[in-house]
Amino acid sequence: MPKEIFPSSYVCDCGYVSHHFENTIKEMKRLSLKRMQRLGSDDGAHVIIFDGGEMTAMSCPQLGTLRGNHD
């Protein structure tokens, strides 16, 4: 399952690590309290999904959509 590296990086099961600005992640989490947010990874191939104030899934070009460890 994808993992969050505090405060603003995400590790896919394929080994890819996507780094983001801390403020970007804070904003994604804040907005996701109202509705689901999708954030493209820094390589443009992955999509990180936020819902309910946290990362819930990551979409991988090799492995498909992977659920986060929150639900």
Binding positions for Zn ion, 5-64, rule CB under 5 A: 12, 14, 16, 60
Query: How many alpha carbons lie under 13 Å from residue 26 in its C-beta half-sphere?
Result: 4
For the CA atoms of the chain, what is the radius of gyration?
11
Pairwise CA distance, residues 64 & 6, whole Å: 24
23 versus 62: smaller Cβ distance to Zn ion: 62
Report, in Å, the least distance between residue 3 CB and Zn ion. Answer: 12
17 versus 54: smaller Cβ distance to Zn ion: 17
Give the binding site for Zn ion (CB under 5 A): 12, 14, 16, 60
